[in-house]
Amino acid sequence: MRIQTLCLVGALALACSDPSDSAAPETEDARSAITSGGTWTVSYAPEPDPLPGNEEFSLDISVEDDAGLASGTSILLTADMPDHGHGMNQAPVVSGSDGSFRVDGMLFHMTGDWRLIVDVTGDTGTESAEMWVKCCE
């Protein structure tokens, strides 16, 4: 009986958990983040600003280390809406190098919380930075 009660309590806790646990953290709209290994700081500036709803926009991305713009780096940028289980409907195009990048063809087709994921690759490997963007309200 005790094991059944514990199982029931555990199942209820999971069933009643807050679905927003995977949502954007309290630091929404922070335009910079430190990568997962602490090697780089990634920042973005949108164009236009504020972001348009369901229209293309661009991002200027900078990757910095202790010495400034991080030479020898490249990035891959993706964006998704974890609460909805989808990403963008089109692939953005990244240009630039050595810590200064331009990402064209960004499009947030829905209003809400979007997560930018910037994978930075350099001599020490690849690390990720996440930033949350509240789109287009």
User: pLDDT value at position 136?
Assistant: 84
List 87's β-bridge partners, or say none: 80
Contact yes or no for 76/94 (Cβ under 8 A): yes
User: pLDDT value at position 53?
Assistant: 87
If one looks up domain 35-135 in CATH, what number appears? Answer: 2.60.40.1940
72: left (phi over 0), alpha (psi -120 to 50) or beta: left
Written as tens digits, the pLDDT of the chain (137 aa) is: 444 433 333 433 333 434 444 444 544 568 999 999 999 999 999 999 999 889 999 999 999 999 999 999 999 999 999 989 899 999 999 999 999 999 999 999 999 999 999 999 999 999 999 999 998 86
User: ∠ CA(43), CA(48), CA(49), 5° rounding?
Assistant: 65
User: pLDDT value at position 30?
Assistant: 87
Show me where the domains of the chain are located: 35-135
